[in-house]
Amino acid sequence: MHPDIAEIIITEDEIKIRVAQLAKQLSEDYKDKNLFLLVLLRGGVLFLADLSRQLTINAEIDFMAVTRYTGEVPSNEVKIIKDLDKPIEDKDVLIVEDIIDNGNTLDFVVKQLKHRNPKSLKICTLLDKPSQRMVNINSDYNGFVIEDRFVVGYGLDYKQRYRNLPYIGILKQEIQGLVTGG
Ligand code: IMP
Ligand code: MG
């Protein structure tokens, strides 16, 4: 275990099993569709890499990056910092994201994408922290529901570190100062 981690809450094996289940489900649900995996950078990348390799159907992959506005006043407003390369009109878009927490990020992305007329638009998250939700939005596919604790690993970072851990864990208290999402 990484020395900064206090506790592993989801092991590498548990992630593997769950990701395979999700991929199986998606392969059935999107069998006769034009699956377009829209990955949110950077947190969704590890999840995408494992999930997409287990799909038994064709899928396009493209990336988008969004960020919270960082101003003097802390804000939940979001903006696009890297957009998709191609239109999504008539595609069956599945947003792949690491976690849905208060929901503002995905709510913003969904609203933006709806204007572009995808054929369908759904959300697939690895983790869901439902207790933190501020807006009415939910994942259509989700790996694990977790408690309201700050987690790192498998795409999730603290100050851009720990994304590469193969499990989901909690940081030691001395490592983690005042934490906000992002
Ligand atoms: P929200 O749903 O708008 O609150 O934000 C989701 C984003 O916040 C995710 O894409 C993560 O980047 C970040 N985030 C939320 N909870 C955590 C966590 O526990 N660890 C690391 N990042 C988190
Ligand atoms: Mg993120």
Within a domain: 81: yes
CATH of the domain at 27: 3.40.50.2020
Mean pLDDT (the chain) is 94
Is the per-residue pLDDT at 178 higher than 80? no
Within a domain: 157: no
What is the average pLDDT across 125-154?
A: 97
Q: Is 156 in the pocket of ligand 1 (CB under 6 A)?
A: yes
**Pick from 1-10, 13-22, 64-73, 154-163: least confident:** 64-73
The band of 176, judged by pLDDT with boundaries at 50, 70 and 90, is confident
Residue 145's pLDDT is: 98
Q: How many domains are there within the chain?
A: 1
**What is the domain extent for residue 48?**
12-150
Within a domain: 169: no
Contacts of 91 (CB under 8 A, 6+ apart): 34, 36, 60, 118, 119
Calculate how far, in angstroms, residue 103's C-alpha sits from the geometric centre of ligand 1. 9
What is the average pLDDT across 42-71?
A: 93
Percentage of the chain surpassing pLDDT 90?
Answer: 90
Contact 107, 133 (CB under 8 A): no
Within a domain: 162: no
How distant, in Å, are the alpha carbons of 15, 24, 60, 79, 164 from that of 8?
12, 26, 33, 32, 14
Within a domain: 173: no
Give the residue numbers annotated as catalytic, written as ranges. 101
Within a domain: 93: yes
How distant, in Å, are the alpha carbons of 48, 65, 90, 110, 158 from that of 178?
29, 24, 43, 29, 11
Within a domain: 161: no
Is the per-residue pLDDT at 11 higher than 60? yes
pTM of this structure = 0.94
How distant, in Å, are the alpha carbons of 19, 22, 66, 126, 139 from that of 15?
6, 10, 25, 9, 17
How distant, in Å, are the alpha carbons of 77, 107, 150, 160 from that of 73?
11, 21, 22, 22
**Token digits of residue 163:** 């994304």
Q: Is 100 in the pocket of ligand 1 (CB under 6 A)?
A: yes
Residue 120's pLDDT is: 98
Within a domain: 7: no
Calculate how far, in angstroms, residue 129's C-alpha sits from the geometric centre of ligand 1. 9
Percentage of the chain surpassing pLDDT 70?
Answer: 95
